[in-house]
């Protein structure tokens, strides 16, 4: 299936086109423009992203910040990441290589750094500034060795030309087609959108992509391990 096929089916689903009809140039341009907007919106929303990509790069000693993006960047990727989900320092001086988790920090943490120019062979912290078109990676302390760094970033839905092939995970085809129909219905007065179906299709893929952090707790109402005071022993049936 191509983007042209998807747009054609969308117009047929809206009853703007009959079965067997073809897109004219205006409808093709309208559909492709709206499709690009839709994919861009999905890429910006964590719940619409179906996977995380693991990519390893080599740090440049004494460089601050490292940049990441599609061109003229320290680390070249298809599109500047919306966010860094996780980062590991890859110590390649030993065998097998050691992947050491790094602390992901925010702008406030970075602004409070008293010695931002401190250098080390093993940086421990990373602040990501998602500027455009290149994101900026502030490593602290600044690396003075060319170790690897593993970044976990979101998979993006690629922008399409009319005759580009499309392939999506289960559920995305309906979510994209029906949402595209909603967007096009405002341009074509005879269109009959299916807002309930579109909302359900979006909810379906976003429910699959929900990220639930691991949680742990002691019994309800009981003090935690690090607290002082008495603890209730279920075995003895008394406070200890």
What's the whole-number average pLDDT of the chain? 89
Summarised one tens digit per residue, pLDDT across range 56-90 is 999 999 999 999 999 899 999 988 999 999 999 99
Summarised one tens digit per residue, pLDDT across range 133-190 is 999 999 999 999 999 999 999 888 988 999 999 999 999 999 999 999 999 998 898 8
Domain end residue (candidates: 154, 172, 188): 154
The pLDDT value recorded for residue 193 is 86
Whether 239 maps to a domain, the answer reads no
Whether 114 maps to a domain, the answer reads yes
| Mean pLDDT calculated for residue range 96-121 | 94
Predicted confidence (pLDDT) at residue 211 exceeds the cutoff of 80: no
Domain shared by 34 and 61, yes or no: no
Specify the higher pLDDT residue, 182 or 209.
182
Take residue 95 and report the two structure tokens written for it: 């065998």
Domain shared by 13 and 65, yes or no: no
In sequence order, what are the beta bridge partners of 142?
A: 119
The pLDDT value recorded for residue 226 is 52
Whether 110 maps to a domain, the answer reads yes
The pLDDT value recorded for residue 5 is 96
Give the C-alpha separation, 195 to 183, whole Å: 10
Domain shared by 92 and 73, yes or no: yes
| Mean pLDDT calculated for residue range 92-99 | 90
Using N-to-C axis directions, what is the helix angle for 172-185 and 195-208, rounded to 10°? 140
Work out the percent of the chain whose per-residue pLDDT is above 70: 88
The pLDDT value recorded for residue 39 is 96
Count: domains in the chain: 2
Domain end residue (candidates: 120, 154, 188): 154
Domain span holding position 13 = 3-48+160-208
68-75 long-range contacts, CB within 8 A, separation 24+:
68/134, 68/135, 68/136, 68/137, 68/151, 69/133, 69/134, 69/135, 70/133, 71/133, 72/134, 73/134, 74/137, 75/137, 75/151
| Mean pLDDT calculated for residue range 116-134 | 95
Domain shared by 149 and 66, yes or no: yes
Per-residue pLDDT band at 92 (split at 50, 70, 90) = confident
Q: pTM for this structure?
A: 0.76
Domain shared by 44 and 134, yes or no: no
Domain shared by 96 and 146, yes or no: yes
The β-bridge relationship of strands 98-101 and 84-91 is antiparallel
The pLDDT value recorded for residue 238 is 58
Predicted confidence (pLDDT) at residue 228 exceeds the cutoff of 60: no
Predicted confidence (pLDDT) at residue 220 exceeds the cutoff of 80: no
Domain shared by 23 and 37, yes or no: yes
The pLDDT value recorded for residue 102 is 96
| Mean pLDDT calculated for residue range 228-233 | 55
Predicted confidence (pLDDT) at residue 223 exceeds the cutoff of 60: no
Domain shared by 65 and 125, yes or no: yes
| Mean pLDDT calculated for residue range 6-18 | 95
Single out the residue of 152, 4, 21, 125 nearest to residue 65, CA to CA.
125
Take residue 128 and report the two structure tokens written for it: 């990501």
Whether 171 maps to a domain, the answer reads yes
Summarised one tens digit per residue, pLDDT across range 37-57 is 999 999 999 899 898 889 999
Per-residue pLDDT band at 240 (split at 50, 70, 90) = low
Domain end residue (candidates: 113, 134, 154): 154
């Amino acid at each position: 299936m191509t983007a042209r096929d998807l747009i054609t089916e969308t117009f047929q689903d809206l009853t703007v086109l009959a079965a067997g009809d073809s897109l004219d140039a205006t409808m093709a341009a309208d559909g492709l423009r709206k499709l690009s907007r839709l994919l861009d919106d999905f890429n910006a929303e964590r719940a619409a992203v179906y996977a995380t990509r693991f990519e390893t790069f080599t740090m440049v000693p004494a460089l601050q910040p490292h940049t990441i993006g599609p061109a003229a960047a320290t680390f070249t990727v298809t599109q500047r990441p919306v966010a860094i989900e996780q980062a590991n320092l890859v110590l390649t001086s030993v065998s097998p290589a050691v992947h050491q988790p790094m602390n992901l920090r925010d702008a406030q943490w970075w602004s409070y750094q008293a010695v931002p120019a401190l250098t080390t062979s093993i940086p421990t912290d990373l602040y990501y500034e998602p500027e455009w078109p290149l994101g900026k990676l502030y490593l602290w302390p600044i690396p003075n060795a060319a170790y690897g760094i593993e970044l976990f970033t979101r998979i993006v839905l690629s922008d399409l030309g009319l005759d580009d092939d499309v392939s999506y995970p289960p559920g995305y085809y309906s979510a994209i087609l029906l949402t595209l129909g909603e967007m096009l219905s405002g341009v074509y007065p005879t269109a009959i959108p299916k807002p309930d179906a579109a909302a359900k299709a979006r909810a379906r893929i976003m429910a699959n992509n929900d990220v639930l952090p691991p949680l742990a707790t002691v019994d309800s109402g009981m003090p935690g391990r690090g607290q002082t005071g008495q603890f209730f022993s279920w075995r003895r049936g008394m406070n200890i």
